[in-house]
């Protein structure tokens, strides 16, 4: 559970996409594999988690409650909740890769770190 939330915490600062954007798609649509690293706190690190971007909206490709978006410039904002654990993150996608920061409370521990993503 901790690893799922840490991984999901990843992604990204943009406004949610509109229904028109979802129909048109976005330059960032696809499955993104995200690897999380913890730099502060007592949370696990090194987890790899897939996320799905469709029409500029970010969703889970593996579990947990994930909401977020990617704007036209690649700015990302994501929030994740699994049980009482929650985290959020932001960053930027460029082409088929991206990076950013995340923070949250995972099973009672306040943690933060970085993430890197690649599109498959």
pLDDT band at 7 (very low <50, low <70, confident <90, very high): very low
CA distances (Å), origin 54, targets 12, 27, 57, 99, 109? 15, 10, 5, 19, 32
Residue range 15-35, pLDDT digits in tens? 334 344 444 688 999 999 888
Give the SS3 label for residue 23: helix
Residue range 71-80, pLDDT digits in tens? 999 999 999 8
This prediction's pTM: 0.77
């Amino acid at each position: 559970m901790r690893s799922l939330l840490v991984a999901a915490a990843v992604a990204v600062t943009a406004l949610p996409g509109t229904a028109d954007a979802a129909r048109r798609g976005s330059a960032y649509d696809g499955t993104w594999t995200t690897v999380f690293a913890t730099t502060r706190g007592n949370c696990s690190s090194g987890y790899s988690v897939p996320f799905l971007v469709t029409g500029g909206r970010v969703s889970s490709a593996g579990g947990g409650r994930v909401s977020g978006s990617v704007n036209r410039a690649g700015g990302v904002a994501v929030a994740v909740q699994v049980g009482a654990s929650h985290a959020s993150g932001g960053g930027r996608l460029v082409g088929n890769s991206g990076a950013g920061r995340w923070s949250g409370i995972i099973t009672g521990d306040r943690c933060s770190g970085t993430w890197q993503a690649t599109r498959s």
